[in-house]
Amino acid sequence: MDGIILAAGRGTRMRELTQNTPKPLLPVQGRPILEWSLRALRPAVECVLVVTGYLGEQIADYMAQQCVFGDYALVEQREQLGTGHALRACRKALNDPDFLVINGDDLFHAPSLQALAATSAGVLAVQREDGSQYGVLRTNAEGELQRLHEKPPPGLYPPPLQVYVGACRLTREILDLPLQLHPERREYELTQLVTDYAQRRPVTVVEADFWFPLGAPEDLAAAQSLDLEGLMFT
């Protein structure tokens, strides 16, 4: 199975930290975020595709030196038009009809990614009290995904909520679905593609045992003191 790491964004919330460094190469406990992503994916996939954009030459240099994956490819997203657009850019580079996709600026639990890979199609989720900053999962009576509602208004859904954490197991079928431009954010979002995909086939929801998003400088600072070896790999 292939793995895809979405690592093309500018990381604007990191402010001055990403002026000269792409966000996936910011250090967490002496390792780039990208290295933690590669290590988390390694038990589940054989080949990894890294989608690059902003300062992509630095990511290319890092990938040439890393020792986690011998089999990898770089996919350039020439315009940052959203995560759905980034996935579509991988069409020609994929080796396998089945693949995992993860955000390149989050820390994931490797065994949970393995459980996700074992589904025929699925999304990774955690529970939160407020879903207004996430993609909220709406499921049917069997617990299968029906919709990913991106950043709904606060209070729309009663807590606790299952929210999408930026990892999914998909098939090439999703690459044939039309991209829909979000009317406000003006991006082609992966969450909309996954919603459309879930209308065509069952999509399992897998609960993650650990997930830590690195959206802002304070998140990066907090991650420096976590037991990441224990939290991500056991």
Q: What tens-digit pLDDT sequence spans the chain (234 residues)?
A: 999 999 999 888 888 899 999 999 999 999 999 999 999 999 999 999 999 999 999 999 999 999 999 999 999 998 889 999 999 999 999 999 999 999 999 999 999 999 999 999 999 999 999 999 899 999 999 999 999 998 899 989 999 999 999 999 999 999 999 998 887 778 899 999 999 999 999 999 999 999 999 999 999 999 999 999 999 999
User: Would 158 be classed as within a structural domain?
Assistant: no
User: Would 96 be classed as within a structural domain?
Assistant: yes
User: How many residues can be counted in the chain?
Assistant: 234
Q: Which pTM value belongs to this model?
A: 0.96
Both tokens of 222, joined, read 């907090």
The CATH number assigned to the domain holding 95 equals 3.90.550.10
User: Would 199 be classed as within a structural domain?
Assistant: no
What was the pLDDT predicted at 71? 97
Question: What b-and-e string marks burial along 132-150, b requiring 16 or more CB atoms within 10 Å of the CB?
Answer: eebbbbebeeeeebebbbb
User: Would 73 be classed as within a structural domain?
Assistant: yes
Give the Å distances, CA to CA, from 8 to 21, 64, 98, 129: 12, 17, 22, 30
What was the pLDDT predicted at 232? 98
Cα-Cα-Cα-Cα torsion 174, 177, 181, 182, nearest 10 degrees, comes to: -50
What was the pLDDT predicted at 185? 75
User: Would 139 be classed as within a structural domain?
Assistant: no
SS3 call for 203: coil
Nearest to 50 by CA among 63, 65, 68, 36: 63
Give the Å distances, CA to CA, from 13 to 10, 187, 212: 9, 17, 16
What is the DSSP secondary-structure string of 5-61? EEE----GGGGGGGSSS-GGGSEETTEEHHHHHHHHHTTT-SEEEEEE-TTHHHHHH
What was the pLDDT predicted at 178? 94
What was the pLDDT predicted at 107? 98
What was the pLDDT predicted at 119? 98
Nearest to 211 by CA among 203, 202, 219, 200: 219
Q: Which domain holds residue 90?
A: 2-123+165-188+210-233
| Residue whose pair of structure tokens reads 């431009």 in the numeric block | 181
User: Would 50 be classed as within a structural domain?
Assistant: yes
Contact (CB, 8 A) for 23 and 105: yes
Contact (CB, 8 A) for 72 and 63: yes
User: Would 67 be classed as within a structural domain?
Assistant: yes
**Domain count for the chain:** 1
User: Would 195 be classed as within a structural domain?
Assistant: no
What was the pLDDT predicted at 160? 92
| Residue whose pair of structure tokens reads 């002026």 in the numeric block | 19
